[in-house]
Amino acid sequence: MLAGAEPFSYPGSGEVGVLLCHGFTGSPQSMRPWGEYLAERGYAVRCPLLPGHGTTWAECNRTGWADWYGAVRAELLSLREDCSSVFVFGQSMGGALALRLAEEFGEQVSGLVLVNPSITSLRWDVKLLPVLSLVLRSAPGLAGDIAKPGVTEVAYDRVPVRAMANLARSWRLVRTDLPKITQPLLVLRSVDDHIVEPVNSRIILDSVGSEKTTEVVLENSFHVATLDNDAPLIFERSVEFMREEA
């Protein structure tokens, strides 16, 4: 396992829990500061390491959406046993996983906080993934899109193409069922994101059935905003959101 990629959990001191879902080729390291912030305020926190992550990109190519979703689904069920109210927070692909949990579990998920969520892509190479995955094992990495100097992300330096193709196919499922989501939703989107286009957040906000949706624009961060300049804003707004909805 890559140093720093370990899963983490905090027991909490109340009845509210938070499930954190990290992004594709990333690890819980990108969510750890957020988790620590929440734990300091008494929330129970879980952040699993998704299958195929935190080791090697070749290992990730042997996994797919069913494995990643199965991991967060199991963690949600476990957290529900200990907490009367559970929120799901996700970054990038973790946002897609969070959305799918809300689609499946309905009111058992109290609310969603998404940071630069990904459910589609306009990039030409993503559209060619079904073909590329037959001839390429990996491509240049997506990790480390962070504006703050001196901050690094524990993630792969290569993109596992087969796994990425599987993810892209699964986005369609998440998008199709967005109207099923009725929970309160907070979306935080970076102005300068070199990985996920703004259309992702727009599709989500326009398609969910939630009566309460809020979008916050992050002016000073790139894609991995939970490790970037706007991290304190993300953490503060997420707690404000839960206090209003719990």
Name the phi and psi angles at 162, rounded to 5.
-65, -45
The catalytic position among 92, 121, 201, 210 is 92
Distance CA 60, CA 49 (A): 12
User: Backbone dihedral region of 62: left (phi > 0), alpha (psi from -120 to 50 degrees) or beta?
Assistant: alpha
Strands 44-47 and 16-21: parallel
Contacts of 210 (CB under 8 A, 6+ apart): 181, 182, 183, 184, 185
Strands 85-91 and 213-218: unpaired
Contacts of 41 (CB under 8 A, 6+ apart): 239
The catalytic position among 30, 85, 221, 223 is 223
Residue count of the chain, please give it. Answer: 246
Distance CA 50, CA 156 (A): 13
Paired tokens of 189: 């989107």
Paired tokens of 162: 């087969």
The catalytic position among 133, 190, 193, 228 is 193
Residue 92 appears among annotated catalytic residues? yes
Q: What residues are labeled active site? A: 92, 193, 223
